[in-house]
Amino acid sequence: MAAYERFLLSWSGWLPAFALGFAGFAAILRGVVFRPRRARWKIARKAWRSLDLPPWLVKLCRADRDSQALHERKVLLAGCGFRMDPVLYLAWRRIIMCLLLVVSALGWRLHELECLIAATSAVLAAWFDGMALHALRRYRTDRIRRELIAAGSQLLYYTGSRLHLHGKLMRCLPLTRIIRHEMGLMLNEWYHDPDRALRIFQERLGTDEAFGFSECLRSLRLHESEEGYDLLREMLREYKAKIELARDGRKETASYALFVLAGIPVLYTFQVFLYPWVQEAAQLFDALNP
């Protein structure tokens, strides 16, 4: 029982730390990725100041080669909406992991358990950053897919209208939230070079759905006919099917998680309720049979 009590005390101490970490991660996502949009007069802002590294340090980190890790981080960063150089991201990731390994080794050498646990946890988090980026990319793709469905449905409402395609898209802009900044930039650059505006729009979003939506808009711009709107309807039906499939997958994952959580009390039933009685009975039999 003493071991079980120590286990409960240790987990009761870790749960607030996990809750604070989750709240901090959610605040970072809300402030960086899904931040509230600024006013229209602030739409032309300066690019982020990148933390450049010397070329020899990037080469030492083996981040300058066209590797699978670099290609994967490039796709994930674009899908998550992070406009940063994947080479610098990969180099900084490896530098931070090396520094954390040094800190964990010093903590083990100096018998600092808290420092060792914190550094090791940070190394594992940096090592499995791909899982977090994949999850964020799936979440952002689902949100973008929903907003493209809303904008496409509004665009289908103006089928047969004499409005120009730019005017129709301007009326679809209030229905968006996540892609409003990128869509607003596309509409601002429309009359300068529509093809370039559509290409930059799909590059800024970085998802397959944005690529398909841009191709539909390009076909409608070149020849606004019923066939183009039929293609748009087919694309929206495909997006809705993907949303239903993702919803079913989340329900199935939640059901598995609830099944596992429901099995935890059953797993500890013997240790909490039955084991003390079994131990007392064993001591009684030992006393009766000296």
Instruction: Tell me what pLDDT residue 99 has.
Output: 81
Average pLDDT on 189-216 reads: 87
Instruction: Tell me what pLDDT residue 191 has.
Output: 85
Between 175-189, 244-258, 259-273, the lowest mean confidence (pLDDT) is in 259-273
Instruction: Tell me what pLDDT residue 10 has.
Output: 55
Query: Quick one: tokens of 8?
Result: 């409960």
Q: Do the beta carbons of residue 197 and residue 189 sit within 8 Å?
A: yes
Residue 34 has pLDDT above 80, yes or no: no
187: alpha, beta or left, given left = phi > 0 and alpha = psi -120 to 50? alpha
Instruction: Tell me what pLDDT residue 44 has.
Output: 39
- 67-97 tens-digit pLDDT: 777 778 888 888 787 877 788 888 888 888 8
* Residue 11 C-alpha from the chain's centroid: 27
Q: What angle do the packed helices 208-222 and 165-172 form, to 10 degrees? A: 150
- Identify which has the larger pLDDT, 228 or 51: 228
Between 19-23, 56-60, 175-179, 229-233, the lowest mean confidence (pLDDT) is in 19-23
Residue 24 has pLDDT above 60, yes or no: yes
Instruction: Tell me what pLDDT residue 272 has.
Output: 65
Instruction: Tell me what pLDDT residue 42 has.
Output: 43
Residue 192 has pLDDT above 80, yes or no: yes
**DSSP class of residue 110?**
T
- 115-125 tens-digit pLDDT: 777 777 777 77
**117: nearest Cα among 4, 14, 12:** 14
Separation between Cα atoms, residue 289 and residue 276, nearest integer Å:
20
The dihedral built from the CA positions of residue 227, 228, 229 and 233, taken in this order, carries a sign that is: positive
Instruction: Tell me what pLDDT residue 40 has.
Output: 41
Q: What angle do the packed helices 194-205 and 180-188 form, to 10 degrees? A: 160
Domain ranges of the chain: 142-244
Q: Which amino acid is at 95?
A: I
